[in-house]
Amino acid sequence: MRLEPRPSSSMAATLLWPAGAILATILLSSLLVMIAGASPFTVFWLVVKGAAGSQFALLETFTRATPLIFTGLAVAVAFRARLWNIGAEAQLYLGAVMTVVLGTGAVALPSAGLIPVIMIAAMLTGALTLLGPAILKTRFGVDEVVTTLLLNFIVLLFVSMLLEGPLKDPTGMGWPQSKRMIADAQLPRLIKGKRLHFGFVLAVVSALIVWVIMKKTTLGYEMRAVGHNAEAARFAGIPVNRVIAKTALLSGGLAALAGFSEVAGLKGNLTLDLSPGYGYTGIVVAMLAMLNPLGVIVAAIFVAGIFVGADAMSRSANVPSYIAQVMVAISLLTMVAAIMLMRYRVRWR
């Protein structure tokens, strides 16, 4: 078999293949649900109800989508320029560290000044975290996939060290957790008494800003050019290494915002289980969105819905909530295959 580019982008292929990917994901996970001894219809109904069946469920899904929008954007931006940032997890955690360092009383400012200061500092921390691997890539030719992956482990151990050392909450009964953020440093809740916080608005606004950067600015054009063909971009006079460095700063900063908003908006302090793999799930979100910043919002809500819905489902049906992770992984693989088949036609001969 061989692949041929489709002469023009066909409307049917653009719609049918992604729909097929979602259908395949549902069919394959139904199989697993049946192996677990439950009825797929009941289980998927419970997942949908748990994700969107009530105001509480919907708000919970949006809350869970917030960090995923940030990490999804981080990955989308980086992958567009073919900078393989698999280290959003590390950037998220270091952003969170900076957030608690500044937000637990070290800086005294009124809320309207304090929150932006913390936010920018967190972004800078995440940006610099990815700048390291980016420079190793451009200067020494070290593959950034491996360095960003290994950094995830280093950073998590570093955070663990901080939480048992300088950042440890003395009143935390010995648990490795940071002190709580002061009230002025916390993001307001969107609805009184609910968990959904201002971080969600920040995430949506960030997606819009990233969309503008990618579509309307020279930097966005250069990033796409580098991602499309670095050699050709260099030949055309684009400073490839500088573009990669700028991409790294933007991507790392966005991932750090996930950590910032989780701490300042939701949790109020830093613990080692702040992120259940949001950095890695961001890769799925970005691919489902086909690296489109606005698509990231939709994809993040979709993925968050699967997680929130599966949690609710596993409480009433006897199917482990790990089914959510399996579904997300399958959707990633089927979607990348679908995107390929959208653009290419398979010829058997």
Positions that interact with another protein (CB under 8 A): 1-3, 32, 35-36, 79, 84, 86, 136, 140-143, 145-147, 149-151, 153-154, 157-158, 160-161, 164-165, 280, 283-284, 287, 320, 322-323, 325-326, 328-330, 332-333, 336-337, 340
Structure tokens at 76: 């989308």
Of the candidates 347, 229, 278, which has an alpha carbon nearest to the alpha carbon of residue 66?
278
Q: Which is nearer to another protein, 145 or 190 (CB)?
A: 145
Q: Which is nearer to another protein, 4 or 8 (CB)?
A: 4
- DSSP code, position 313: H
Beta strand ranges found along the chain (DSSP E): 2-5, 344-347
Structure tokens at 55: 């105001």
Of the candidates 346, 299, 332, 318, which has an alpha carbon nearest to the alpha carbon of residue 28?
332
Q: Report how far residue 337's alpha carbon sits from residue 332's, in angstroms, rounded to the nearest whole number.
A: 9
Q: Report how far residue 209's alpha carbon sits from residue 215's, in angstroms, rounded to the nearest whole number.
A: 10
Q: How far is the CB of 257 from another protein (least distance, A)?
A: 22
Q: Which is nearer to another protein, 192 or 349 (CB)?
A: 349
Q: How far is the CB of 91 from another protein (least distance, A)?
A: 16
Q: Which is nearer to another protein, 82 or 195 (CB)?
A: 82
Structure tokens at 79: 């992958």
Q: Which is nearer to another protein, 190 or 337 (CB)?
A: 337
Q: Which is nearer to another protein, 13 or 326 (CB)?
A: 326
Q: How far is the CB of 63 from another protein (least distance, A)?
A: 22
Measured CA distances, 276 to 157, 193, 194, 281 (Å):
15, 24, 21, 9
What letter represents residue 204's amino acid? V
Q: How far is the CB of 154 from another protein (least distance, A)?
A: 5
Measured CA distances, 72 to 58, 136, 250, 283 (Å):
20, 23, 13, 6
* Helix (H), strand (E) at residue 265: none
Measured CA distances, 199 to 88, 261, 265 (Å):
17, 5, 6
Q: Report how far residue 271's alpha carbon sits from residue 177's, in angstroms, rounded to the nearest whole number.
A: 5
Q: How far is the CB of 97 from another protein (least distance, A)?
A: 14
Chain length of the chain: 349
Q: How far is the CB of 132 from another protein (least distance, A)?
A: 9
Q: Are strands 344-347 and 2-5 parallel, antiparallel or unpaired?
A: antiparallel
Structure tokens at 345: 């036609």
Q: Which is nearer to another protein, 146 or 212 (CB)?
A: 146
Q: Which is nearer to another protein, 71 or 325 (CB)?
A: 325
Q: Locate tokens 């979602």: which residue?
A: 22
Q: How far is the CB of 114 from another protein (least distance, A)?
A: 30
Q: How far is the CB of 348 from another protein (least distance, A)?
A: 11
